[in-house]
Every structure is written in structure tokens, then in C-alpha cells.
Amino acid sequence: MLKKNIYDHTVLTCKDHTDLDKKTIKKFMSGYKLMENAGKIIFEIIKKKFNKNKNIKILCGSGNNGGDAFIVAKLLKENGFKNIELFCLITKNKLKGDAKLAAEKININIQNISNLKITKGNLIIDGLLGSGLNKNIAGNLKKIIEKINSKNHYCISIDIPSGINGDTGEIKGVAVKSDLTITFTKKKPGHLISPGKEYSGDVIVKNIGIDLKKLFFKPRIYENNPNIWKKDFPWPNQNSHKYTRGFTLIICGEKITGASRLAARGAARIGCGLLCLGVPKKSFNIYATENPIALIETIDDEADLKNILKDKRINTILIGPGLGVNKKKLNLILKVIKDKKRIVVLDADALKNNFKKIAEKSNSEIIVTPHYGEFSKILKNLKIKKTNDNLSLAKKFVKKTKYNLLLKGNSTIISSNDGKIVINTNSSPFLATGGSGDVLAGMITGLIAQGMKIFESCCAATWIHGEIAKKLGPGLIAEDLPDMIPKILKKLK
């Protein structure tokens, strides 16, 4: 995990932002100065993108985002922008604090938001609501936001689109669909987690004077980026050989044989030195015919598994892809997770085999890799109440099980049992194809086998997996993914 530039990819919760604002105001500058800085930055971006004849509708709320918007309006008028209309959720005399101060310094008529009329080609500046919104938008404001979304125009949101919860990315009733969001200091989870990610459009992050280093802030959440894990990547050297690059056992099933074979190819391409497929006897010939990259051994029961694990060189185990769901398979899973000497990745069917019983065997060296559907069932098994806040659910799951979690999705959440969280947005919708998750599980296992730490392995594999999909695009199938790994690794190197 990066230490030198620890703040480069930090993500801040709404509470983090509020606390940092308060500390900055107490130690370094006034709240109004921070608001002025934000307003100037937004103005400069607008000035570069649009001409002075643009019809601009500026929408202000009663909070700091509204205050930023008032300052933007003032600067636009002072700099010759001719067609500015200003609207507010409340009357000027009801504004408070820095927002009131900002409103008092402008010489533009402030209209009631109900008077808003939007035509094609308008520029909308959304400063209506803040990021900590917890209740659903209803009534007249809901109608206004729906009107904004129904027109063909360019919309810039201040901080986060109004109606998006900054911590969860969820829509609170309705939300503004923005082309561009300008936020400050660092991104929030809501900029990265769907649907907030899509509603935010392009996100620009600017510094308004809040210095995380001077405030001794300790990050806990990051946005995935190679800078986080690249220095820990297990590149081989002149002294490397197959035994120094890890030995992975993949426990396979009878029917869906393609899943574990895809996982094996992912592990091999990412650099794992040796692979063994533990397969049911009746499917032995299927596996043996098409897998020259792996040793093939029979695992029909716990005795077979015990015999194979006598080989001390095996340092990682992947179980789940194509495994099947029954008591016999559950016994294999329970046997595997009791092994304190090896790191275990549980994927796919391993998450469907009585997970409550599996979770009773706490082991910090376990990684689980569910997609959202599987995760919902796991939460039900563990009696963790389902909400729309997937970040908090990930934390609760990790706290309860002591496992490491990789929650797969459009925005993948990687949560370590030591409290670190990474949100991965380097992805592609073309990964929505059968077998892509099996390849990812193999990649994670392969990196861990080579000695890369669990959290960094999950981050690296997820990013590389997404990068491949972005390069391949339409027509991608899971079999394409492993063969592209060397090209991405070459660029990273």
C-alpha cells in the first residue's frame, strides 16, 4: 500500500469532509474564504468552457453549495457574462451564515425556484443540495429536478448532483443528471458508486485550501489506481523459478468444468508458478485433456484433499468456480478453511454452500468474492440487514466474519479485515459475461500465491481485469481475458 503519496487517491466520506472543513476554519482560514475559493474555481472552469452569451441558470440551496453558487453568479456577472438568472430554494432573508454573506454581495435578482424555466441549450449550475442528503426529495423540488433532467442542456453540479447521497451513491427520490461535477479536496464514495457515479458525469477535483497532511488526516478509503499497489507487484527476477512463484490448488466440480479452467488460466497468466486442479474422478479426462498448464489430481472427498495438501509447497487454494452445491462440497470447503497454513479464496458456489456455517470458522487469511446477488444472500444468512449503503454493508460483513471482501460490481468494493477500503471504477460493462468472475478469482489467487499481500492482490487483479475489458470492448468473452493479461502487465512494468 502506498505510503509516500498516501493522499493521492484518498476518498473522503461526508463526515470526513465536514470534520476537515471545521478544522481548516479553526486553524487556517474562514469558512467564507473556503466558499470564495470554491466559487472562483467553478467560475474559471465555466469561463474556459462557455462564451459570455450563454444562457445560464444558477440554482442555489440554503447551504454551502448554494453559497458557492452565489459566488459563481457574482463572478460571472463581473466578468461580462450577459445572460444569468439566479434561483433559490428559499428567500434571501432566510439564508444564514456564509451562504447569506455570499448572497448579500451580488447584484442580481434572486428568483424563487418555482419560476425556473429551462430551454434547450441552457447551462444549468446545480447548487441546490448538499452531499449528506438522507431523506427523499419530494413535492415541488422533485418536479423541478425532473424538469431539469427532461431538457437537452449542459449541467454542472457543485460538489455532487443534488439528490445523490455522498456516502452511498444512492438516489434520494430523484437526482440531477449532471454532465460535469466539480468537487473539492477529494472525491466522495457517492462519486464512485452507482448510480451516483453515472449521475455525476465527469468529475473534477480541485483544492480550495484544505490540506490533509497539515490536518494529520489518516485515510481509510481509496480509489483504485496502480499507484496503490504497483510497487508491491510480484515481478520475477533472475533468481525466480516456478517454486518461488507460488503453487495454487484449484478445487473443481463435476459439471461446470469451464469455470475452474478459466480461473486456472487467469492464475497462470498473472504469474503463478505452479497450478494443480483437484478434480472429481468422473470428470478427470475432461480436465486432463485441455489443461497443459496444470497438474491434475483427483479430489472426490476429504481424504483425497488431505492427501494433496501434504504437499507443503501449495500456498494458496481457490474453491468455488463450478464446484456445485451439496453437503459433500460443503465438507471440502470447511476442510479448506480450517487450514491455517494457506490463504483461501472463496468464490461462486463456495459462497452458496451454507455460508453461515462457513463464516463460523473465522480465518483472517480468507478472501470472499461475491457479486451483489450472492452478497445479498450471504447477508441474509448472517442476519445482517440489507440497505442501499453497500460500503457500510461491506464493513459490517468484514467486522462480523474477519474475512477479506471483494464485492464485485460496476463499482467493486474491496474491504480488508484491517479496515482499509478501495473502490474500483476501472471497469467495463462488457465484463457482464459468464466466466469473467472466474478469471478474476484466478488472478487474485495467482497474485497471492506469488507473495503479494491479500489486499494489494485484490486491488491489482480487479484493476487489471477492468483494464483488459476496456481495451477489448464489444464482443468480449471470458476466454479473452487471460490472454490479454501479458499486454497489460507489460505496460505496468
Q: What domains, with CATH codes, occur in the chain?
A: 10-223 (3.40.50.10260), 226-492 (3.40.1190.20)
Give the CA radius of gyration of the chain: 26
Query: pLDDT digit string (tens) for 345-375?
Result: 999 999 999 999 999 876 669 999 999 999 9
Say what the pTM is: 0.95
Q: How far apart are CA 466 and CA 460, in angstroms?
A: 10
For 263-288, write each residue's pLDDT tens digit: 999 999 999 999 999 999 999 999 99
User: For 405, how many CA atoms within 13 A lie in the half-sphere containing its CB?
Assistant: 33
The residue count of the chain comes to 493
Rounded CA-CA distance 160/122 in Å is 20
Q: What's the pLDDT at 3? A: 56
Q: What percent of the chain has pLDDT over 70?
A: 99
Q: Rounded to an integer, what is the distance from CA 358 to the centroid of its chain?
A: 26
CA distance 343 to 339: 8
pLDDT of residue 291: 79
Write the DSSP string, 308-372. Answer: HTT-TT--EEEE-TT---SHHHHHHHHHHHT-TTSEEEE-GGGGTS-HHHHHTS--TTEEE--BH
State the burial class of residue 243 (Cβ atoms within 10 Å of its Cβ: 0-12, 13-18, 19+): exposed
The three grid cell numbers given for residue 343, joined into one nine-digit string: 490463504
| Residue stretches of the chain with pLDDT short of 70 | 1-4, 362-364
- C-alpha grid cell, residue 174: 430523484
Q: What crossing angle do the helices spanning 436-449 and 480-492 adopt, rounded to 10°?
A: 40
